[in-house]
């Protein structure tokens, strides 16, 4: 089956294309993120990617992806991604967080998880859920969120 290399349009009303995926990984999950991104490299190249600073830098270095890097998570990067969700600037969050380790910015992590739910933004928290979401036909359907769940 041939895969398209065309950019994927944003699902957010009034947003320009391509769709934006936010990538975040806690320290113990960064290798999982690299492995997942390597496996999905061709697909990821069709999206606008943004990431917290350390995760984005690692993905650029390891895979050569073009990524808009924000601050590191503990230095406000999680909050920056939350703000972009509120502004309608993110279509999917891939956040490999580590539930077994304490984090000094745990409040920010919880706020990001909360804001993604409040704004109905799909969020994958492990490789399996990320694979299901990024390969879903809905990722290619313009306007699927507002068509399915009108406000």
Q: Whole-angstrom Cα distance, residue 57 to residue 72?
A: 10
In order of 29, 74, 126, the CA distances from 130 in angstroms are: 13, 23, 6
The DSSP annotation for 18-58 comes to SPEEEEEE-GGGHHHHHHHHHHTHHHHTTSEEEE-HHHHHH
64 backbone φψ class: left, alpha, beta (φ>0; ψ -120 to 50) = left
- Supply 8's token pair: 């994927």
- Supply 87's token pair: 């502004």
Q: Which residues contact 26 (CB under 8 A, 6 or more apart)?
A: 73, 96, 97, 98, 101, 103
Q: Catalytic residue positions? A: 78
């Amino acid at each position: 089956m041939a895969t398209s290399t065309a950019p994927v349009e944003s699902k957010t009303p009034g947003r320009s294309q391509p769709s934006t995926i936010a990538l975040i990984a806690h320290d113990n999950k960064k290798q999982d993120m690299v492995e997942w991104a390597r496996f999905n490299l061709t697909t990821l190249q069709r999206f606008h990617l943004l990431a917290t600073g350390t995760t984005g830098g690692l993905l650029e270095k390891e895979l050569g992806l073009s990524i808009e890097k924000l601050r590191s998570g503990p230095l406000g990067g999680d909050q920056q991604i939350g703000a972009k969700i509120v502004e309608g600037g993110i279509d999917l969050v891939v956040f490999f967080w580590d539930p077994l380790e304490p984090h000094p910015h745990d409040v920010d992590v919880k706020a990001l998880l909360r804001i993604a739910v409040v704004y109905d933004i799909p969020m994958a928290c492990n490789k399996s859920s990320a694979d299901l979401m990024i390969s879903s036909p809905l990722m290619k359907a313009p306007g699927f969120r507002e068509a399915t769940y009108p406000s």
